């Protein structure tokens, strides 16, 4: 047998980019403030795999879909002979053929459900319109996305494990071939036409450009924050003046109606201070707070906070809700040691736009 070039430079760079981007997606998935980075990486992977689909229909030996082996009998024979002598494939074996197509399907579903979850839960991106109608189901959108994303990661790890197993049991240099492109076997080396080379440059270049553009452009269509900012001084001057004169303005959606009612009924002992107001002013502010309380909001914080009130006594302040405590675990120690925060009620230290009714995860500072 002779050494032949099986994987072109473009195919090898595709694998490298796919690994780097998938690692980035995985590492950014658990940190709320990195959600925009997570989405940017996801869309960039979409561009990368879209190009790979086109690549699979070009007349490129070993990489085109026509060269894949999808016969069930071949897959069965291949899998049953894992620990013994098995047929050698220059290109993709039956298991990797199914794995690659499976990864493409799961990736597509992960991107689509991710965009839907991003819109329904955060009010961002091209599906932000869902936040106004499906916000109550935001947890379902997130769970569906995580299901497909986890299935994709499982298939990727299975694909890598298969290559490692081949190396261990059969001394197949599959991993090495993805670096230098060469395998031992019978056949012709890959030779690309000028058009194929041009497409390869365009394909991989578009992936890198898309990633850089999205990371540098948080207001791009796919990532844009479509949550309206609120000018409370214009919307309700009395609320902004009376409440804002003593402390920062807390958006009404951060507490349920009952909590606001109790708070407005005891202004003579408002957290140790007398904040009494004229009856007309008090009633006006109370009506505004009730109309914009958590029950009437589409914000993630409001929805999750309300869902956890079943096990709570009705909170008298935002920091008493179980939702706030879970999200801000350990903040007391941080606040006391950082003069920029000072106290746990200083939400503005980490949420700079909270007084405009915005506490988006990606805007969190500190």
Q: Is residue 344 a contact partner of residue 324, using CB atoms and an 8 Å limit?
A: no
What SS3 state is found at 114? helix
Whether pLDDT at 165 is above 80? no
Q: How confident is the model at residue 231 (pLDDT cuts 50, 70, 90)?
A: very high
Q: With CA atoms as reference, report the closest residue to 178 among 339, 19, 341.
A: 19
Q: How confident is the model at residue 365 (pLDDT cuts 50, 70, 90)?
A: confident
**pLDDT for residue 172:** 57
According to DSSP, residue 270 is labeled: B
According to DSSP, residue 129 is labeled: G
- 182 vs 11, 27, 291, CA distance in Å? 12, 32, 68
**pLDDT for residue 85:** 61
Q: For residue 96, what are its two tokens?
A: 């990797």
Give Rg (Cα) of the chain.
Answer: 28
Q: What is the mean pLDDT of the chain?
A: 89
Helix 94-122, helix 72-80: angle, nearest 10: 100
What SS3 state is found at 9? helix
Q: For residue 15, what are its two tokens?
A: 């694998």
* Percent helix / strand / coil, the chain, rounded to 5: 65, 5, 35
How far apart CA 25 and CA 23 sit, in angstroms, is 5
Counted residue by residue, the chain has a size of 366
Average pLDDT over residues 121-131: 94
Q: How confident is the model at residue 282 (pLDDT cuts 50, 70, 90)?
A: very high
According to DSSP, residue 280 is labeled: H
According to DSSP, residue 28 is labeled: T
How far apart CA 208 and CA 73 sit, in angstroms, is 40
What SS3 state is found at 164? helix
How far apart CA 149 and CA 108 sit, in angstroms, is 10
- Which of 77 and 104 is assigned the larger pLDDT? 104
Q: With CA atoms as reference, report the closest residue to 70 among 99, 50, 90, 49.
A: 99
- Specify the DSSP element, H or E, that contains 346: none
How far apart CA 3 and CA 91 sit, in angstroms, is 13
Q: Is residue 185 a contact partner of residue 88, using CB atoms and an 8 Å limit?
A: yes
Q: How confident is the model at residue 366 (pLDDT cuts 50, 70, 90)?
A: low
- Which of 97 and 163 is assigned the larger pLDDT? 97
Q: Alpha helices of 56-187 — where are they, by DSSP H?
A: 72-80, 94-122, 138-170, 174-180
For residue 112, how many other CB atoms are within 10 A of its CB?
15
Average pLDDT over residues 89-108: 90
pLDDT tens, residue by residue, 331-353: 888 877 888 888 888 888 889 99
Residue 78: CB partners within 8 Å, gap ≥ 6? 86, 87, 93, 94, 95
∠34-36-38 over CA atoms, to 5°?
70
- Which of 90 and 34 is assigned the larger pLDDT? 34
Range with the largest mean pLDDT of 35-44, 300-309, 316-325, 357-366? 35-44
Residue 28: CB partners within 8 Å, gap ≥ 6? 34, 35, 37, 38, 41
Question: Taking the complete model, does pTM exceed 0.85, yes or no?
Answer: yes
Q: How confident is the model at residue 242 (pLDDT cuts 50, 70, 90)?
A: very high
**pLDDT for residue 188:** 86
Of the CA atoms within 13 Å of residue 134, those in its CB half-sphere come to 18
- Of 4-13, 112-121, 155-164, 311-320, the poorest mean pLDDT is in 311-320
Instruction: Give all domains of the chain, ordered by start, each with its CATH number.
Output: 2-216 (1.20.950.20), 232-363 (no CATH)
How far apart CA 312 and CA 314 sit, in angstroms, is 6
């Amino acid at each position: 047998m002779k050494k032949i070039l099986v994987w072109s430079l473009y195919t090898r760079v595709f694998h490298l980019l796919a690994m780097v981007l998938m690692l980035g997606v995985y590492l950014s998935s658990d940190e709320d403030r990195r959600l925009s980075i997570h989405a940017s990486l996801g869309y960039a992977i979409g561009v990368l795999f879209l190009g790979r689909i086109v690549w699979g229909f070009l007349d490129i030996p070993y990489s085109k879909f026509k060269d894949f082996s999808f016969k069930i009998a071949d897959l069965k024979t291949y899998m049953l002979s894992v620990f013994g002598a098995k047929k050698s494939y220059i290109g993709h074996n039956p298991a990797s053929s199914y794995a690659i197509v499976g990864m493409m399907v799961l990736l597509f579903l992960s991107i689509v459900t991710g965009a839907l979850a991003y819109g329904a839960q955060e009010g961002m991106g091209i599906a932000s319109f869902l936040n106004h109608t499906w916000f109550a189901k935001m947890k379902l959108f997130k769970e569906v996305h995580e299901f497909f994303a986890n299935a994709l990661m499982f298939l990727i790890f299975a694909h890598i494990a298969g290559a490692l197993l081949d190396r261990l049991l059969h001394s197949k240099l599959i991993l090495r071939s993805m670096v230098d492109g060469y395998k031992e076997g019978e056949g012709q080396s890959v030779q690309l036409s000028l058009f194929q080379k041009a497409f390869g440059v365009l394909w991989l270049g578009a992936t890198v450009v898309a990633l850089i553009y999205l990371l540098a452009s948080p207001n791009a269509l796919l990532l844009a924050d479509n949550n309206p900012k609120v000018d409370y001084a214009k919307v309700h001057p009395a609320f902004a003046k009376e409440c804002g004169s003593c402390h920062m303005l807390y958006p009404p959606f951060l507490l349920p109606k009952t909590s606001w009612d109790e708070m407005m009924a005891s202004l003579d002992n408002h957290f140790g201070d007398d904040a009494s107001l004229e009856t007309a002013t008090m009633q006006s502010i109370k009506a505004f707070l009730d109309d914009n309380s958590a029950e009437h909001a589409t914000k993630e914080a409001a929805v999750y906070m309300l869902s956890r009130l079943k096990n709570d006594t009705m909170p008298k302040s935002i920091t008493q809700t179980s939702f706030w405590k879970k999200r801000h675990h350990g903040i007391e120690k941080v606040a006391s040691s950082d003069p920029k925060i000072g106290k746990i009620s200083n939400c503005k230290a980490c949420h700079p736009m909270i007084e405009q009714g915005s506490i988006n995860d990606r805007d969190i500072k500190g």
